[in-house]
Each structure stands twice: as C-alpha cells, then as structure tokens.
Amino acid sequence: MRLKKLNPTSNGSRHAVLLKKNLLSKNNRVVKSLLKGFKNFSGRSSLTGRITVRHKGGGCKKLYRLIDKKNDKSISIVVSIFCDPNRNSFVSLNFDLINRRFFYMSNTNLVYPGYLIVLDKNLSDLRLGYRTSLNNIPTGSLVSNLSVSDLTSPNYIRSAGTFGQIIEKSLTFCKIKLPSNKIIKVSTSSLATLGSVSNTKHNLVVKGKAGRSRFLGIRPAVRGIAMNPVDHPHGGRTNGGRPPVTPWGKPTRGKPTVKKRNEI
C-alpha cells in the first residue's frame, strides 16, 4: 500500500501524508450480519456518567466487524480487503469452503483477494497467510497473530505492520521475539499466522490537522502546567521543582513498574 502527499491547498493539507486506498474494496458491507453496533459512551461511565478514560469523545459513528477468532479447521478464500475503523490493520472478508459461510479476519501483508487461506493445526505445506501450530513452522520464520495456546484467540503481534520471529524451538516450547524485542516462551501447540500484519506503512501516516483526530474520537490533551492548581499537581504555571507526575500525583519518570521476581 502506497502513501500520498496532499497538495498544500490549505493549512490542513500542507503536511498531510495519507494512505492510498485504491487497492482496497469500497463495498465493505457485503455481509451485514457480521456488523454490530455498540452504544458510544465517549469515555464515560455508563452508570455515573463520570469520565473514566480521558481524551475520548465525539467522533464519527462506526460499526464493529465481528472478527473470527476461533482456531477451528477451515479452508477459505479471500473475497475482499478493506479498512476497519476499530483497528489499524486491514480486515479481509473470507468465504469458508468447508462450512459455507462468510467471516472476517485480520489480513496478512501481501495477501490479496483470490488467495487461499488454510487454518489447520497439522500442516505440511506452508504458505503466506496460513495459520498452524508452531511445531510445524521452522525456526527463523516471521509470524503474527500469536495465540498463547491452541484454545485462545490471538494474544500477541496484532498491530499493523508488526511481526515476530521464532528464534528457538524444542519439543515442548518455542521462544518468540516480539516486536518490542521482548522474548517470550510459549508452547509448541500454540497457533500463529505466517507473515506480518497488513498495513505496514501505518506509522508513516501524518494526519495534518487536529480535525482528523476529532473524527476518530480523540479529544485534545492539555498540559498540566496550563491548568489551575485544583485540576493538576503541575497547575498554577509554576514549576516549583516538583518532578513530573500524573494528574493523580504518581511519578511519570524513573519509577519502576515491572515487579521483580523473587529468586530462590
């Protein structure tokens, strides 16, 4: 997927770098039974109405695509690929040739309409986009949508353009290097998808104006020093020599957040 630089006809388009979506399907409501609407509380509690998540509110209406997260055996064909307003990776509409049904799934990079996608725990033929257990995937391969076990939905490596790598294998476990360079140890019966997640240039997009963030339901983030003392510990426009803290008084720099293991 390519990027496009807008002509500087206004201040909002002067620095904007957006995604060119000419290869994506425009008709993303083929199966309406797979769409679901949720009531938007705009970051507020449904009981008290108080703000529970800051910087949320407004935005355009959107429907949720019911992503198939089951690990059942299936052979499907990719019908179309489109953007999903609820995630940064692309979503593909697949048709299951065994169960004769449509379903949505997270799209793999370089997988286009017409590709055959196989989900099976015991696979000998490995291709891009296939999903199988880790004991069938060779060491050094790039994987995504990693499940901790064969019964759970994908837990790791789901964001746009990310991928993990199998760096070590044994009879019972695998060591996987995550996009954060952290190495985790999972069972060889865990499932993963061959290849990286789609929309690899998502991190290069420049919105260009604040209005595009408001369309996505993101409200402005105000600096603490610009507030009054009653609203933030940094308020009053005086630094005062206090280290940076959150609105609730907890340090934001230099405080350890990872618990140390008790080594015996």
Cα distance between residue 123 and residue 131, in whole Å: 9
Residue entry with tokens 């350890």: 256
Angle 134-138-143 (CA atoms, 0-180°, nearest 5)?
60
Helix (H, G, I), strand (E, B), or coil: what is residue 81?
strand
- For 32, 113, 130, 166, 253, the CA distances from 173, given in Å and listed in that order, are 41, 34, 20, 11, 36
Torsion of Cα atoms, 135 then 139 then 142 then 143, to 10° = 20
Identify whether 246 is part of a domain. no
Identify whether 221 is part of a domain. no
Number of compact structural domains in the chain = 1
Beta bridge partners of 117: 76
Identify whether 131 is part of a domain. yes
Cα distance between residue 60 and residue 100, in whole Å: 34
What's the pLDDT score for residue 122? 87
Identify whether 236 is part of a domain. no
Using a cut of 0.75, tell me whether the model's pTM lies above it.
yes
Identify whether 261 is part of a domain. no
Amino acid identity of 4?
Answer: K
Cβ(173)–Cβ(215) below 8 Å: no
Element (H, E) at 133: strand 131-133
Considering only CA atoms, which of 138, 179, 188 is closest in space to residue 156? Answer: 179
What's the pLDDT score for residue 26? 77
Residue entry with tokens 């907890």: 250
Cβ(158)–Cβ(167) below 8 Å: no
**Could you read off the pLDDT tens digit of each residue along the chain, which spans 264 residues?**
789 999 999 999 999 999 998 888 876 556 888 888 888 888 899 899 999 999 999 989 888 989 988 888 889 999 999 999 999 999 999 999 988 999 999 999 999 999 999 998 888 889 999 999 999 999 999 999 999 887 788 899 999 999 999 999 998 999 999 999 999 999 999 999 999 999 999 999 999 999 999 999 999 999 999 999 999 999 988 766 788 899 998 888 877 778 777 665
Identify whether 230 is part of a domain. no
Helix (H, G, I), strand (E, B), or coil: what is residue 226?
helix
Identify whether 251 is part of a domain. no
Identify whether 54 is part of a domain. yes
Domain of residue 55 covers: 20-203
What's the pLDDT score for residue 264? 56
What's the pLDDT score for residue 220? 95
CATH number of the domain enclosing 36: 2.30.30.30
Cβ(239)–Cβ(229) below 8 Å: no
